[in-house]
Amino acid sequence: MQIEDGKENSMVTVGVLGIQGAVKEHLEKLRLIPNVEAITVKTHQELNKVQGIIIPGGESTAIGKLLKEFSLMEPLKQRIEQGLPVWGTCAGMILLAKEICKEPTGHLEVMNIAVKRNAYGSQLNSFSTTKIIEEILENPIPLVFIRAPYVERFWGEARVIAEVEGNIVACRENNMLATSFHPELTEDLSFHRYFVERMILGKE
């Protein structure tokens, strides 16, 4: 892993893929966590600086297309396959999935999940709820869904972290986390803490 020269060991650099979507909101949340330097990632050089990366919500088709245009698709895929901790929220979940329902190919195709886009249909386009997610926190966490996908199937080392009304809305597979919902749009910091402390720093 490449870490910027002269960086204190106690600081951790976390990137937010900054080509489209809810980038600022994730950066603001990360900056509330002590010893985190949060940076926008738009170039290969910036990608090389980070010890973990968030792929934000937005429009997965647009982000996928721009990843290619920015020549970031292959380098990002490679770093994830080499173990870079990654968390995809909403469109980010779709970007990580190996399979997308009714679409011939995926984007990064790194995570053993098959997802359905806009899975809640037009009636329930956006909604919010609260839920205890044991892996993350013992208290209920607010969950905001916006034209959200859910996970239809998972296999290999992927495992379920949260379900809402029988639908899988969060999965983890080794260095990868995918959530259908948007913790960056709520007051809750527990998912960002989980990503930094457990997945990047490896604290139990």
Which residues are designated catalytic? 90, 182, 184
User: Binding of ligand GLN at residue 90 (CB under 6 A)?
Assistant: yes
- Residue-by-residue DSSP string for 1-49: ----TT--TT-EEEEEE-SSSSHHHHHHHHTTSTTEEEEEE-SHHHHHH
User: Binding of ligand GLN at residue 58 (CB under 6 A)?
Assistant: yes
Tell me the closest approach of the beta carbon of residue 146 to ligand GLN, in angstroms: 4
Give the end-to-end CA distance of the chain in Å, rounded to a whole number.
Answer: 21
Cβ neighbours around 103 below 10 Å, total = 14
User: Binding of ligand GLN at residue 59 (CB under 6 A)?
Assistant: yes
For residue 58, say whether it is annotated as part of any ligand binding site. yes
User: Binding of ligand GLN at residue 147 (CB under 6 A)?
Assistant: yes
Tell me the closest approach of the beta carbon of residue 108 to ligand GLN, in angstroms: 13
User: Binding of ligand GLN at residue 54 (CB under 6 A)?
Assistant: no
User: Binding of ligand GLN at residue 172 (CB under 6 A)?
Assistant: no
- Residue-by-residue DSSP string for 176-198: EEEESS-GGGSS--HHHHIIIII
| H or E stretch covering 81 | helix 73-81
Beta pairing, strands 159-164 & 167-173 = antiparallel
Choice between 46 and 59, CB closer to ligand GLN: 59
**Binding site for L-glutamine: residue ranges?**
58-60, 117, 146-147
Which residue ranges make up the site for ligand GLN (CB under 6 A)? 57-60, 90-91, 94, 117-118, 146-147
